[in-house]
Structure 1
Amino acid sequence: MDYTKCFKEVILKYSFIDPIVEFIRHNENITYKVTEKGSEDTYLLRMHKPITKNMQGVQNTREGIHSELQYLLAWSSHSELPVQIPVPNLNGELVTKVAIESEEVNCSVLKWIAGETMSKIDFTNEEMVSALGKRIAYLHQFSRSYKHGSSFIRPNYEIEWINNILTKFRSGKKIGIITTKEFKILEHTFSLVTDRMKGLSKGSETWGFIHADIHYSNLISTTRGISFIDFGLSGFGYYAMDVASAALFTKSELRDDLLSGYTNIISRKIDIAHLEDLMFLEICGLYVFRVSREDMHIWIREHIPSLIELCESLLKGKTVFYNINQVGLAN
């Protein structure tokens, strides 16, 4: 598909004045930065077409995208920090559908948040890590109060999601980038984690709408503090999943500051073992995304020993919260 033609067609469906368009990246979406010439008005154009088929899901459907945008609109009216506010097209619609070469692609536009994309280096002091914990807690506070209708559809991060990750690992075994022995260890670990997840309650205090992709590259440092961007994978899951994601890029010695920042706003005890399981699943999500990309198969072979070591530690009941990094153990 010629996506250059596609974004040009999308641009015409909005009231942009002499726009300058810059390609950003193609991951779960194809994204462009759109700046109106002669002004400071800047936008993010998203074409909801993931780079690989195994990233497709309800989040790419018109209903799923509209639900995400409805949440952002509601969040923007409550957040004291900037939010990526959805921009309607000339017909007043939040989701724009275009047809290119007989394929339909859903698109959306968000206002650009002014600031700097954060990096891992930004989270090397207690103050910043604690602030991140607080920002996640404020987001969850809002989610607990957010009321949505029956047409609100987003991904669910529960047992079916876990089984899907394991299925994608199985495809890696079939093509030979994961050995039979490694897969068996993974399978045993997934069984352990699944059994523990089945025993958890999904009450309003523990389960709700989450960002589901907390990563430093999805955080913007603004003049007023840390703002979240990229709710493209947002959906329903354990609130602890967002905390677990943040812990993965936080230094071991600062992870308690992340938790204290969070619990300073939401006074609820966080189960470390639950966080470890979610951190494990988050890491596995990275691996299975790369299984579908041939150019990443060498990376998988280089790093999978770390993941297997993590599996073996979890199977032995070891506490690993303070030494997991984003590819496995050895933080």
Structure 2
Amino acid sequence: MDDKLAQLLREYGIASPEITLLRHNENRTFKVTDTSNGTDYLLRVHDPITTNLAGVQHTRHGIESELQLLRIIAQKSNLVTQVPLTTFSNQLVTPIEVDGHQHNCSILRWIEGRNLTLEDSATADAAYQLGAQVAALHQVFDAYTEVQREDRPDYGIRRIEQMLTQIRRGVELELFSPDHYATVEKTLTLIADRLKSLSPQTAKQGIIHADLNMSNILVTPRGEFVFIDYSLFGFGYRLFDVAMMALNAPKETREHVLKGYFGQESLTQERYAAIEGFMLSAVFGYYAFVMEHEAAHSWIRERMPLLCENRCKPFLNGERIFLSF
């Protein structure tokens, strides 16, 4: 495979690459160092590790829409982002054959940094900055009008229905009991029902990142926060991104994430309730993605009963759970 990747990289003008596999999740990702000049890049082979991670975002049109979004972020904001490269023939996406299957590939500029930790968001200022940065990102998203909805995932109520189907497989795989699934179903159904009755301001939708977990936020040597991996971006509720970012802060500073995002706007009880629902949706989304990944099964067996008991049941009983994660 390395020979094929090296040949592909030459189309981007990288003649002497050193290729290191980083991980295989929604894509196979590699760090590429051009040994002729020391420049680093991120190579992605768009080949998801499980079927639950696959989707329209892996089509050529889907990938191109993501890369165009990265260009928009770089051009129309002060946010640091991974800028895509083009081939000598001005192509953003190139195909490669892996294990008898053809996959699309893309290359991004490398950004040096480490993954965000709870310690990084443990101060009020840092948590506020993370929230404000999500707000700035959403402003940029509003300027990206060329994307076609059919080229990106939909994270609306239909996504909740899809998650239920994917999570139900856990009962068939004997990862958790039917009673636990019933609790999950009640929780996600309540979240969906509440979404249908939200005020327009709380229910605002548009383009969202959809995967703002700690592994997709870098802390650079200069202390900057950089959002990466837009491969799952799509259309959904803006508060979903806010909820995911809130999960990245300890409970002591979590409120400051919301203050950074909303600024002077009031934090109504409706907004809090919606954010709590999206926090649970984000957690369930991860379970759904890895349900068919055997390496995650022992983790699911251990964690699902705790999630149902400590998060879902209090949520169903009307208790506040914003600070319980």
**2:259 aligned partner:** 260
1:243 aligns with 2:238: no
Judge conservation of contact 1:63–1:151 (CA < 8 Å) in 2: no
For residues 138-153 of structure 1, what are the structure 2 equivalents within 5 Å?
138-150=136-148, 153=151
SS in 2 for 1:21: strand
Counterpart residue type for residue 224 of structure 2: G
| Change over 3 Å in CA distance of 1:102–1:204 after alignment to 2 | farther
For residues 318-329 of structure 1, what are the structure 2 equivalents within 5 Å?
318-324=319-325
Give the TM-score of the pair, scaled to structure 2. Answer: 0.92
Whole-Å separation in 1 of the counterparts to 2:176 and 2:20: 38
Q: CA RMSD in A?
A: 2.1
1:232 aligns with 2:231: yes
| Percent of pairs with identical residues | 36
Whole-Å separation in 2 of the counterparts to 1:291 and 1:150: 29
**1:295 aligned partner:** 295
Whole-Å separation in 1 of the counterparts to 2:179 and 2:149: 44
Judge conservation of contact 1:24–1:31 (CA < 8 Å) in 2: yes
Whole-Å separation in 1 of the counterparts to 2:163 and 2:148: 27
Counterpart residue type for residue 323 of structure 2: Y
Pairwise CA distance, 1:115? 3.2
Whole-Å separation in 2 of the counterparts to 1:224 and 1:175: 43
More divergent stretch after superposition (280-289 vs 21-30): 280-289
Whole-Å separation in 2 of the counterparts to 1:108 and 1:268: 42
Judge conservation of contact 1:144–1:205 (CA < 8 Å) in 2: no
For residues 82-121 of structure 1, what are the structure 2 equivalents within 5 Å?
82-121=80-119
| Change over 3 Å in CA distance of 1:119–1:174 after alignment to 2 | same
Whole-Å separation in 2 of the counterparts to 1:153 and 1:117: 29
Q: Which runs of 5+ in 1 are unaligned?
A: 325-331
Give the TM-score of the pair, scaled to structure 1. Answer: 0.91
SS in 1 for 2:175: coil
Pairwise CA distance, 1:121? 2.1
Counterpart residue type for residue 58 of structure 2: N
SS in 2 for 1:208: strand
**1:272 aligned partner:** 272
SS in 1 for 2:323: helix
SS in 2 for 1:94: coil
- Aligned residues, how many? 321
**1:328 aligned partner:** none
**1:308 aligned partner:** 308
Whole-Å separation in 1 of the counterparts to 2:103 and 2:291: 25
Q: Which runs of 5+ in 2 are unaligned?
A: none
Whole-Å separation in 1 of the counterparts to 2:111 and 2:312: 39
| Change over 3 Å in CA distance of 1:6–1:120 after alignment to 2 | farther
Pairwise CA distance, 1:224? 6.8
SS in 1 for 2:61: helix
For residues 176-187 of structure 1, what are the structure 2 equivalents within 5 Å?
176-187=174-185
Pairwise CA distance, 1:203? 7.2
Whole-Å separation in 1 of the counterparts to 2:194 and 2:70: 32
Pairwise CA distance, 1:205? 8.1
Whole-Å separation in 2 of the counterparts to 1:34 and 1:156: 32
| Change over 3 Å in CA distance of 1:25–1:251 after alignment to 2 | same
Pairwise CA distance, 1:204? 11
Pairwise CA distance, 1:199? 2.6
Judge conservation of contact 1:67–1:152 (CA < 8 Å) in 2: no
